[in-house]
Amino acid sequence: MDLLNTLVDKGLRRELPSREEALAVLATSDDELLDVVAAAGKVRRQWFGRRVKLNYLVNLKSGLCPEDCSYCSQRLGSKADILKYTWLKPDQASEAAAAGVAGGAKRVCLVASGRGPTDRDVDRVSKTIEAIKGRHEDVEVCACLGLLSEGQADRLRGAGADAYNHNLNTSESTYGEITTTHTYQDRVDTVQQAQAAGLSACSGLIAGMGESDEDLVDVVFSLRELDPDSVPVNFLIPFEGTPLAKEWNLTPQRALRILAMVRFVCPDVEVRLAGGREVHLRSLQPLALHLANSIFLGDYLTSEGQAGKADLDMIADAGYEVEGADKVTLPEHRRGAESDADAGTGAGADADADADAGCGSHAGSGGCGPCGSAPAEQDAADEARTDLVAVRRRGAGTDLAPNA
């Protein structure tokens, strides 16, 4: 297939595909799906070998957010029956993080609901970062606290934070339909503040909110321009009690095409398989590992994921390996002149070792619905799998053991 050959060549050279090429990936048929996965898998392995980075979420403060993001179970006016609690103490958060690290997580993501942190909140999170780093010196810590004010990114960096997450979520042209209490530009500004402070930027999207193919390509091209180190790809979890509870626009096949498009547009960044993978990819989750080099382990902020052991088994069964603490995730050209113990056995060496293995051997318009999908695919997507949406009742904020 000429399109896929072209995209592989561009991905191996870190060359940006055209918008038309990105849209063409989303328009491929189910009959072409394994070819698409195989092609994007070659790009993934070139830059990240067969390694899968594990990340673990700790929800520091849950619910009661003043923002009105339509997709979020913690939003203003949400009737979703989620856990609600105020700030975890540093020792509580450190204990929660320890469960993820014990399960193999290399990065701990500290998340708090709200528009953005106060200076007192930054002090709280700084103490939590210090508690986690004091217990696990090598673990990466990513903070996700909403919109940052001037100087807050520097303070988080000074406390030991390695990264900051703030997703763009959807295209600029449709952002106002999803959220009205802040702007798309507010999100861009926060990511740029984190980058200016020396934090590794993490910014991604949410698919499945009723957006068009053009919206998906727009947000991914915007992310490419923003140049974060990590791009989480979330699939909408339609929580009852939220405005998007009836949005079931994804099939496993479409979710894989979206991941492949992101990999082709952002070939050498950490593409993370994030929230909603169990709900929408279901039994095709292992195929996504040929596209994404990073996943969340265990549960999410307000919903439950599959068992942590099942995540580890899935990685092993797919022929991949968990990325160890001694490995540096990003390719050397994205790390500048930094040296590391993994310099001689990084992505390039892993890619050479498995260049002939794995999924490389596997063999638009006119659709219905806002996603431009084929009619048969849309019919399948209309089958709401509400049974797969489970509210988190364990881990942080509860007395039950976490899933890790």
Q: Worst-scoring range by mean pLDDT, 28-32, 129-133, 359-363? A: 359-363
**What pLDDT does 336 receive?**
58
Look at residues 254, 327, 264 and name the one whose alpha carbon lies nearest to residue 287. 254
Q: Which of 109, 266, 359, 371 is catalytic?
A: 109
Q: Clarify whether 142 is annotated catalytic.
A: yes
Q: Decide if 142 is inside a domain.
A: yes
Q: Decide if 329 is inside a domain.
A: no
Dump pLDDT digits (tens) for 63-82.
Answer: 888 889 988 887 877 787 77
What range defines the domain where residue 58 resides? 9-324+365-388
Dump pLDDT digits (tens) for 11-53.
Answer: 999 999 999 999 999 999 999 999 999 999 999 999 999 999 9
Q: Which of 45, 107, 202, 224 is catalytic?
A: 202
Q: Decide if 305 is inside a domain.
A: yes
Domain count for the chain: 1
Sign for the pseudo-dihedral over CA of 87, 93, 99, 103: positive
Tell me the HSE value of 250 on the side-chain side, using a 13 A CA sphere. Answer: 26
Q: Residue for token digits 């890619």?
A: 351
Q: Decide if 351 is inside a domain.
A: no
Please tell me what DSSP assigns to residue 326.
Answer: T
Q: What angle do CA 255, 78, 404 make, to 5 degrees?
A: 55
- DSSP line for 60-118: EEBS--SS--TT-TTSTT-------B-PPPHHHHHHHHHHHHHTT-SEEEEEE-SSS--
Alpha-carbon distances, residue 214 vs 94, 148, 378 (angstroms): 41, 29, 17
Q: Which of 50, 51, 75, 142 is catalytic?
A: 142
pLDDT, mean of residues 299-319 = 90
Residues tagged in the binding site annotation for [2Fe-2S] cluster? 109, 142, 202, 272
Q: Which of 272, 277, 334, 392 is catalytic?
A: 272
Q: Clarify whether 368 is annotated catalytic.
A: no
Q: Clarify whether 75 is annotated catalytic.
A: no
Residue 30, token pair as written in the block: 């189910």
Q: Which of 45, 50, 69, 107 is catalytic?
A: 69
Q: Decide if 1 is inside a domain.
A: no
Q: Decide if 349 is inside a domain.
A: no
- Does 369 score more than 60 pLDDT? no
Q: Clarify whether 144 is annotated catalytic.
A: no
Q: Decide if 345 is inside a domain.
A: no
CA separation for the pair 262, 370 (Å, rounded): 19
Q: Clarify whether 72 is annotated catalytic.
A: yes
Instruction: Look up the CATH number of the domain holding residue 207.
Output: 3.20.20.70
Look at residues 348, 330, 376, 394 and name the one whose alpha carbon lies nearest to residue 30. 376
Q: Clarify whether 272 is annotated catalytic.
A: yes
Q: Decide if 250 is inside a domain.
A: yes
CA separation for the pair 66, 75 (Å, rounded): 7
Q: Clarify whether 266 is annotated catalytic.
A: no
